[in-house]
Structure 1
Amino acid sequence: MRQLPFAALLIATLLLISSVSAIESPAPSPASGLGCDGKCENRCARSGWKDRCLKYCGICCGKCNGCVPSSPYADKTECPCYRDLKNPKGKDKCP
């Protein structure tokens, strides 16, 4: 009788671990044909957190089919998709 709750707890734990590992998996890199590396290099040229800026810019660029605002201070309205991507806290995802 005690093994049924233990088995259910074990299965629930394994499901939780697999879902957490799926969340933490790295984001796919943007398609190289979109020119994201150069666009993000330009966008993040004046960032104090360049590595982080390049990472998130690349993610956003890939999701937005290569659309990245044209300069470090360009308005995000140039790329509505880039502008509208939000993180789980509701703040801008894209630099």
Structure 2
Amino acid sequence: MAISKALIASILLSLLVISLAEADHMAVKDDVVKGSVPTKIDCGGACTARCQLSSRPNLCKRACGTCCARCNCVPPGTSGNQEVCPCYASMTTHGNKRKCP
């Protein structure tokens, strides 16, 4: 009888630990998906890649760097893909033109 109580207690404890570990894993996964994990990207490298085909690369890199610093995101590729970084895509100049290249 004592062995079965100890067995049941250890099984319940194991299930509790597994449940807590899974909940923690899901919370971390949700943070990564939402983008709330504060990992800084290399804005210089990302903007150099983004602006490599620009006709005005210095201007492009400066605008991209400002947007990257504020949003911590740069869309992949040399143009387009704005939906990947909504913050980056929504920034505008005083003339309501898109700020970020």
Asked if Structure 1 and Structure 2 have the same fold, meaning a TM-score greater than 0.5 normalized by the shorter chain, the answer is yes
- Whole-Å separation in 1 of the counterparts to 2:91 and 2:49: 20
Q: Which runs of 5+ in 2 are unaligned?
A: 1-39
TM-score (norm 2): 0.59
Could you list the runs of 5+ residues in structure 1 that have no partner in the other structure? 1-32
Note the aligned Cα RMSD (angstroms): 1.0
Q: Which has the higher helix share?
A: 2
Give me the TM-score of the superposition, normalised by structure 1: 0.62
- Cα deviation, 1:33-54, whole Å, max 9, x if unaligned, reads 5300000001001000000000
Runs of 4+ aligned structure 1 residues displaced above 2 Å come to: none
Give the 5 Å matches for 1:21-40: 33-40=40-47
- Select the structure with the greater relative contact order (CA < 8 A; seq sep ≥ 6): 1
For residues 73 and 52 of structure 1, the distance between their equivalents in structure 2, rounded to whole angstroms, comes to 15
The one of 63, 66, 74 aligned to 1:56: 63
The structure whose Rg is larger is: 2
Percent identical among aligned pairs is 39
